[in-house]
Amino acid sequence: MAITTETVESIFDVIESIKKHVAQLKPYVPERGLICIGEYPLKILQKEPFVGKTVDVLPIVIQKGDGKNEQPTQSDQIATPQNTLKLDADVDTHFWFNVNTFFAANEEYNSRLTKATEKLHEIVVFTSLWEGVGSALLPMLTVQFRKSNASSVALAVVPSKAQPPDAHFNALASIGMCAGNDSATVVLVGRDFAENYVGVDRSGSRMRGNIVVRYLLQMILEKETLPQELSELSRAFNIKLYTGLSLMGASYQVYGSFQSMLDAASLNPFLSFDLASAAVIYVLARVPRSLRDKLTRGRIELETAEWAKKIPNVKSIQVGEPIYVDDANDRVDAVVFAGGFNVAELAAFLAKKSDRVRSETIKKGLLKEKEWEAIVKSLTSGR
């Protein structure tokens, strides 16, 4: 059969069609991710998993294995086995420096972690700071994400005042390393705040305990540009640590204005801190569409600026575009992220609680005194 120009063009058309079909068969890889580290955060997400329902968010779980890999685990409800990275059950993960030692000697695990996150552009990390894995990985991951030009923000749970010294030792180390890290944007949430929370959600249902952290995390994930916006704010003012104020399920009819909601939120901090010392403010609001004309971004900016007059050191106020939702009621969720606040009180408390563990680990040669001094100095000399 003679091959004509028309025949060749027909063949190329078929090949091009096949290429397009193959491209369509390639699995969709989200550019946004949620990295959950440790047992405590995983249990919070388990209560009512929502991440898997969010198509454009890739959930990744990092935890220590329990030696029963053949059986389904907690993480299977949140992420697929392929997106669950487990440290072997015999790996020592009690302290942050144990985990650092493991990663320094384990290139294979490092490679798996990098491969799992390399295509992500917007990342939210959810971790507890008293667990060795979370306290070590948080500062490590923020550096990795910055190198890959990914924007990240971490929601990090600080141990309760009632927890033992080793918990505060891990937390102080992690926060100190993040404070000395130009890539970090970390929102600190006290476990006591989470466990003692009493309020309502936007449907008016009672919300108690650490379910509020899951609710907050859901808001952060719904605001797709939040990691980028908060990261940019952090770099502009050289701020690494944030905490916050919140008011969930607030009736607009009852409060009458967004400024009144912010006044009420001031009574509900994530952590004990001096709001007057904050340098930057970022406001995130979730608003029913029926209030879209009353609570525009511009209106929220003006009312926030009026409210923030009581914060003498504030250098910048940023309001994200509100998350408008199809709710039949008038309930608003408002979160204020306050960055650059004075951490002296927090640092002093963590140092006092962890001093005995610090002393013992240095005596045993597990930690160098100069290394610890550098970590604490990063926290106490800046914001």
Segment 167-176, tens digit of pLDDT? 999 999 999 9
Range scoring the smallest mean pLDDT among 42-46, 67-71, 293-297, 369-373: 67-71
Of 200, 277, 188, 283, which Cα lies nearest the Cα of 240?
A: 188
Q: What is the largest CA-CA distance in the chain?
A: 89
Instruction: Specify whether the CB–CB gap between 35 and 122 falls below 8 A.
Output: no
* Degrees, nearest 5: CA angle 172-173-177: 115
Taking the C-alpha atoms of residue 61 and residue 124, their distance in angstroms, rounded to an integer, is 12
**Domains present along the chain, CATH in parentheses:** 26-184+345-383 (3.40.50.1440)
Taking the C-alpha atoms of residue 261 and residue 29, their distance in angstroms, rounded to an integer, is 39
Read out DSSP for 292-319?
TTTS-HHHHHHHHHHHGGG-TT--EEEE
pLDDT averaged over the chain? 89
Instruction: Specify whether the CB–CB gap between 227 and 123 falls below 8 A.
Output: yes
pLDDT at 138 > cutoff 60: yes
Of 239, 241, 166, 156, which Cα lies nearest the Cα of 194?
A: 156
Long-range contacts of the stretch 109-117 (C-beta < 8 A, 24+): 109/85, 112/85, 113/62, 113/85, 113/144, 114/144, 116/60, 116/83, 116/85, 117/33, 117/35, 117/60, 117/141, 117/144, 117/145, 117/148, 117/150
Taking residues 309-316, what's their average pLDDT?
95
Percent of the chain with pLDDT over 90: 70
Question: In the 8-state DSSP scheme, what is residue 100?
Answer: H
pLDDT at 364 > cutoff 90: yes
pLDDT band at 32 (very low <50, low <70, confident <90, very high): very high
pLDDT at 311 > cutoff 70: yes
Instruction: Specify whether the CB–CB gap between 101 and 78 falls below 8 A.
Output: no
pLDDT at 2 > cutoff 80: no
Residues with Cβ within 8 Å of 8's Cβ and at least 6 positions away in sequence, in order, are none
What's the confidence (pLDDT) of residue 379?
Answer: 86
Taking residues 192-217, what's their average pLDDT?
93
Taking the C-alpha atoms of residue 248 and residue 236, their distance in angstroms, rounded to an integer, is 29
357 dihedral zone (left: phi>0; alpha: psi -120 to 50; beta)? alpha
Q: Which residues pair with 325 in a beta bridge?
A: 288
pLDDT at 274 > cutoff 80: yes
pLDDT at 43 > cutoff 80: yes
* Degrees, nearest 5: CA angle 138-144-145: 90
pLDDT at 260 > cutoff 90: yes
Q: Which helix (H) or strand (E) holds 256?
A: none
pLDDT at 9 > cutoff 90: no
Percent of the chain with pLDDT over 70: 86
Residues with Cβ within 8 Å of 250's Cβ and at least 6 positions away in sequence, in order, are 261, 264, 331, 332, 333, 334
pLDDT at 117 > cutoff 70: yes
pLDDT at 70 > cutoff 50: no
pLDDT at 26 > cutoff 80: no
Instruction: Specify whether the CB–CB gap between 324 and 290 falls below 8 A.
Output: no
Taking the C-alpha atoms of residue 217 and residue 41, their distance in angstroms, rounded to an integer, is 11
